[in-house]
Amino acid sequence: MYSGINISQTDARPMYLQIMEQIRARVAAGDWEPGKELPSIRALAAALNVSVITIKRAYLDLESEGVIVTRHGKGSFVANVNGLAGELQEARVDEHLDQAAQLGRQLGLTEEDLAARLRRAYRNVDKK
């Protein structure tokens, strides 16, 4: 179930973020469907050889994002919300766009410049 989750310590991002991302990706792809039970914190920690505290943090943050739901004494489950997968996909797009916007501002691009570039990139997708 979670053998595909990979934590790389050479990745610049903190371990808890990597875990969150990989869980989000599975939910977004529909592999982990709404209502599915997540591995217990300790079971995942043992499977990934990652500290319990890191898994706990990932689960807590995922819960505050609304991706998972933790029921005390019962475990954690993928949130049973319609369209969650779609929402998560769109959230990824927003994340990338935020980065592009920030970089653009730093380089001094105008809103129109940035929009033009985005349009060009969109059209280029079909060409590839």
Partner 1 sequence: MEAKHIEMHGVRKTYRFFTLDDLSLELAPGEVMGFVGPNGAGKSTTLRLAMGLVTPDAGEIRVLGQPMPAASASAKREVGYVSAEMLLLPNATLGWHMDFVKAIYPSWDDAYAMTLVKRFNLRREQNARSLSLGERIKAVLLLTLARRPRLLILDEPTTGLDPVARHEVISEFMDVLQDDSRSVLFSSHNTVDVERISDRITFIDRGRVVESSNKEDFLDRWRRIQLQLPEGAALPALPNIVSRNVDGRFVTLVTDRFSEGFAALLGPNVREVQRMNLEEIFVANVMRHREVRGS
Name the residues that contact partner 1, by CB under 8 A.
Answer: 7, 9, 12, 14-16, 42-43, 45-46, 49-54, 57
Pick between residue 27 and residue 58 the one whose CB is nearest to partner 1: 58
Judged by beta carbon, residue 14 or residue 83, the one nearer partner 1 is 14
Place of tokens 């991302």: 21
Nearer to partner 1, 18 or 68 (CB): 18
- Give the nearest distance from C-beta 56 to partner 1 in angstroms: 9
CA 64/CA 68 separation, integer angstroms = 8
Shortest Cβ distance from residue 51 to partner 1 (Å)? 5
Helices (H), the chain: 15-29, 41-48, 52-65, 84-107, 111-127
Query: Measured between alpha carbons, how far apart are the two ends of the chain, in Å?
Result: 34
- Shortest CB 97 distance to partner 1, Å: 22
Measured from the Cβ of residue 19, the count of other Cβ atoms closer than 10 Å reads 24
